[in-house]
């Protein structure tokens, strides 16, 4: 009788343990391919060394012509002239992509330049 009770207790304990542990869950793994295209990085270029002192320098301002940007750059020009009376401000405008010819002109005529795209 006692032996039977023991087996019953063992059985109940096992059942309870299984219930507490919860059902054994299977894992599903989805392996998918990357949709991204490979990018061949272009060669990197360093920005030009900075001009430590702007006094007497030729400062270019390039604007892509988007309307209202001219008002902003007019004020910037005035402020630069106030701060740097001996510097010259040269204004340029054209498409957002300078192109080699215009970039060459800027490099030739200016000591440094600001590229202001207007948006």
Partner 1 sequence: MVTDNFGHDARSAAEDSGMPTLRMVKVPAQEFYKRRISKEEIKPVALESINGLIDALTRPLTTQEANPKPKKVEMSKAIRITAESYELAVEKFNQSFLDNHWGDGLPLIPPTQKRVKWMLAGTGRSPHEVIGTVAPKNGTATIEKIAINAVMAGAKPEYLPVIIAAMEGLTDKNFDLLHVATSSGSFNLLIMVNGPIAKEIKMNSGIGFLGHGWRANNTIGRAVRLSLVNLGYLWPAENDMALIGRPSSHTFYTFAENEENSPWEPYHVSFGYKKENSCVTVSTVGSYEGGMTIYGGGAVAPWTAKSILEKMIKDMKNDRRIFGLFKRGVANPAAHPRKYIMMLHPECAIELQRLGYTRESLQKHFYESTSVPYEDLSQEEIKGIQERIEASIAGGIILADVIPQSRIPVFKEVLKPGGKVPVVISPEEIHIIVGGGIPGYTFSISYIKAPYAPTSHQTKLIRGATLTKAGR
**Per rule CB under 8 A, is residue 49 in the interface with partner 1?**
yes
Nearer to partner 1, 19 or 25 (CB): 25
Q: Is beta strand 112-116 parallel, antiparallel or unpaired with respect to 88-93?
A: unpaired
Nearer to partner 1, 21 or 53 (CB): 53
Decide: 91 and 81 in contact? Cβ < 8 Å.
no
The distance of closest approach from Cβ of residue 85 to partner 1 in the complex, given in angstroms and rounded to an integer, is 14
CB proximity list for 73: less than 8 A, separation 6 or greater: 61, 63, 91, 116
Q: Which stretch binds partner 1 (CB under 8 A): 1-9, 10-18, 67-75?
A: 67-75
Among the listed residues 58, 71, 72, the one whose alpha carbon sits nearest the alpha carbon of residue 105: 58
Decide: 80 and 59 in contact? Cβ < 8 Å.
yes
The distance of closest approach from Cβ of residue 111 to partner 1 in the complex, given in angstroms and rounded to an integer, is 10
Which residues lie near partner 1 (CB under 8 A)? Answer: 25-47, 49-54, 59, 64-69, 71-72, 74-76, 79-80, 83, 93-97, 99, 101-102, 112, 114-119
């Amino acid at each position: 009788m006692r032996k039977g009770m023991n087996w019953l207790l063992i059985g109940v304990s096992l059942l309870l343990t299984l219930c507490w542990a919860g059902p054994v869950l299977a894992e599903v793994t989805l392996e998918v391919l990357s949709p991204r295209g490979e990018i061949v990085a272009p060669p990197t270029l360093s920005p030009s060394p900075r001009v430590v002192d702007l006094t007497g320098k030729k400062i270019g301002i390039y604007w892509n012509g988007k309307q209202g940007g001219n008002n902003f750059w007019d004020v910037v020009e005035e402020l630069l002239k106030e701060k740097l009376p001996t510097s010259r401000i040269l204004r340029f405008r054209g498409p957002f992509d300078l192109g080699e010819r215009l970039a060459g002109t800027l490099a030739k005529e200016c000591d440094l330049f600001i590229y202001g795209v207007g948006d």
